[in-house]
Amino acid sequence: MRSTRNTGFALATLTLLAAASAAGAQETSRAVADGGVSVPGWTGAIDAREASRGSTLANAKFVAEGTGFQVTTGPATTFWNPANVASGDYTVKATFTEPKYMNLNNHPHPYGIVIAGNKLGTDQQSYLYCAAYGNGNFIVRAFGPQPFQMNGGRGEANAAVHKAAGPGQPVTQEIAMSVKGDQVACSINGTVVGTYSKSDLVAPGKLSSTDGMYGIRFAHNTEATVTGLTMTPGGGSK
């Protein structure tokens, strides 16, 4: 009888731990004080799922910081300037610094580069992004207009992606996305971490083109600075 009781207790404990873990994974998006986009020419859109829960763009914050930007979310948000357009072969890159890893969340959240943006802010939008986590993972996903994954729902680990020393510690990632010929690549900290064929990206229900607007994307409840956002024609990864 003791064995049965112990087994039941262990199963109950595991169930509670699993429930707690699931609750953490479903962390609620915060509303950022004094939010909105205040950089001239820039705009943004929160994810449809976030909007369905009552969040708005005013619940995220995008401001100028020196020659770059300070971003605080709030709901998961994509930011862009309609004047920033790339076509043919090109590379878009920027440096992301999370000054206090996991400062606003209870598990790692990603941030990164957006390319191939078309009809952004509408229900027919399409774009591709590569984003890094401060735990050494990266993720490549797209909306076309329904989301689709290129390396799994939670991404994958790569030694090129920097890891924070722990919560509250700084971590920096240089992220680049390149289009060259029939290939699209993501590089992090100077190393190509993923390469994808255009035919797997540009198709009905997926991207309309690899040409389009570029910008940046942040998951919910994340804070970082962005510097050196540039687009270089040619498609090199550096």
pLDDT in tens, 123-182: 999 999 999 999 999 999 999 988 999 999 889 999 999 999 999 999 999 999 999 999
- What is the per-residue pLDDT for 16? 33
Whether 3 is covered by a domain: the verdict is no
CATH number at residue 188: 2.60.120.560
Whether 21 is covered by a domain: the verdict is no
pLDDT band at 234 (very low <50, low <70, confident <90, very high): confident
d(CA 171, CA 162): 7
How do strand 137-143 and strand 156-157 relate by DSSP bridges?
Answer: antiparallel
- Cβ atoms within 10 Å of 228's Cβ, excluding its own: 11
Whether 17 is covered by a domain: the verdict is no
Q: How many helices (H) and strands (E) does the chain have?
A: 2, 16
Token readout for 125 is: 């939008």
Average pLDDT of the chain is 89
Whether 54 is covered by a domain: the verdict is yes
Whether 218 is covered by a domain: the verdict is yes
How do strand 77-86 and strand 90-98 relate by DSSP bridges?
Answer: unpaired
pLDDT in tens, 84-112: 999 999 999 999 999 999 999 999 999 99
d(CA 94, CA 114): 11
Distance of CA 236 to the CA centre of its chain: 22
Task: Give me the number of domains the chain comprises.
Answer: 1
Please identify which residue in the block is written with the tokens 């040619």. 234
Domain extent for 49: 30-233
Whether 225 is covered by a domain: the verdict is yes
Handedness of CA 21, 25, 26, 27 (dihedral sign): positive
| Cα–Cα–Cα angle for 185, 69, 119, rounded to 5 degrees | 55
d(CA 223, CA 74): 9
d(CA 25, CA 47): 17
- Average pLDDT of the segment spanning 225-237: 87
| pLDDT score of 237 more than 70 | no
Whether 4 is covered by a domain: the verdict is no
Whether 161 is covered by a domain: the verdict is yes
pLDDT in tens, 13-25: 333 333 334 434 4
